């Protein structure tokens, strides 16, 4: 077998196998790191939600429970397109809340899309007068596009595309309202599932093992054939 490994053909084949194994190893490592990131995020979400509600002005970590009182400014309300829940397309309804801490943007909930994603929906009215909102603190998003959308519709919750500025570094995802609001479903929390990433990581490792096994199998088979030919010639 050692003599075979010295040939140009087997040197080239071995180099290709080594490169493939390294690539599989890097892909497996990347999937493991993605799984670890999701585990950290899930842990952060759980620990943050266990806290008592604070004012949005004091919220420094995403998913922290917050509570604030104010009145909705429905004249500047917007909807965020392409926000599916349970495989159904819909919108987030974003309404600014005027409070003692300034304007706070509130994701009041989810609304099913009855038309297409560029048709402004019929949004249920927000509660009038003083409202106390309890929810989870969320970080800003980055808008993917603003072109071709009707007035009052945005692609992501980006402060640069919201019609009213806010002094805060995020928005509230409503979980409870006093008085209660009607017509909107609650916005679902993201599902943090690391099982798929772990599965992919293991698969890439198995592929690397198969490559090693295949390399050894073909090397051994060719060495046996060469030995058989040599014996026949003798």
Please write the tens of the pLDDT for every residue from 140-195. 998 876 677 889 999 999 999 999 999 999 999 999 999 999 999 999 887 666 77
* Cβ–Cβ under 8 Å, residues 91 and 183: no
Tell whether the model's pLDDT for residue 1 goes beyond 70. Answer: no
Q: Across the chain, where does the E strand assignment appear? A: 65-72, 78-80, 90-99, 102-112, 130-138, 153-154, 171-178
Q: In the prediction, which pLDDT does 141 show?
A: 93
The pLDDT tens digits for 42-96 are 777 666 667 889 999 988 888 899 999 999 999 999 999 999 998 899 999 999 9
65-72 and 78-80 strand pairing: unpaired
Tell whether the model's pLDDT for residue 234 goes beyond 60. Answer: no
Q: In the prediction, which pLDDT does 146 show?
A: 67
Q: Does residue 36 or residue 90 have the better pLDDT?
A: 90
Q: Is 89 exposed, middle or buried (0-12, 13-18, 19+ CB in 10 A)?
A: middle
Q: Does residue 60 or residue 122 have the better pLDDT?
A: 122
- Tell me how crowded residue 98 is: count the other CB atoms within 10 A of its CB: 13
In this prediction, residue 233 has a pLDDT band, given cuts at 50, 70 and 90, of low
Q: In the prediction, which pLDDT does 66 show?
A: 95
The pLDDT tens digits for 11-20 are 888 899 999 9
Q: In the prediction, which pLDDT does 153 show?
A: 94
Tell whether the model's pLDDT for residue 232 goes beyond 70. Answer: no
Q: In the prediction, which pLDDT does 93 show?
A: 97
Give the mean model confidence (pLDDT) for residues 130-146: 90
Q: What CA–CA distance (Å, rounded) separates 209 from 185?
A: 48
């Amino acid at each position: 077998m050692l003599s075979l490994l010295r040939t140009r053909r087997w040197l080239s084949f071995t180099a290709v196998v080594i490169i493939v194994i390294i690539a599989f190893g890097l892909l497996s490592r990347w999937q493991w790191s993605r799984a670890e990131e999701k585990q950290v995020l899930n842990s952060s979400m759980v620990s943050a939600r266990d806290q008592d509600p604070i004012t949005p002005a004091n919220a420094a970590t995403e998913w922290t429970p917050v509570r604030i009182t104010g009145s909705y400014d429905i004249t500047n309300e917007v909807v965020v397109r392409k926000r599916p829940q349970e495989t159904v397309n819909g919108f987030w309804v974003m309404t600014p809340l005027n409070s003692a801490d300034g304007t706070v943007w509130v994701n009041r909930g989810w609304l099913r899309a009855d038309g297409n994603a560029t048709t402004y929906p019929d949004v249920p009215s927000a509660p009038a007068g003083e409202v106390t909102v309890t929810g989870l603190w969320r970080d800003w998003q980055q808008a993917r596009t603003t072109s071709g959308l009707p007035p009052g519709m945005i692609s992501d919750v980006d402060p640069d595309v919201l019609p009213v500025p806010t002094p805060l570094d995020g928005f509230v995802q409503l979980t409870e309202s006093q008085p209660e609001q009607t017509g909107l479903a609650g916005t679902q929390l993201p599902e943090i599932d690391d099982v798929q990433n772990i599965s992919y990581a293991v698969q890439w490792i198995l592929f690397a093992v198969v490559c090693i096994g295949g390399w050894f199998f073909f090397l051994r088979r060719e060495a046996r054939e060469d030995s058989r030919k040599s014996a026949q010639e003798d």
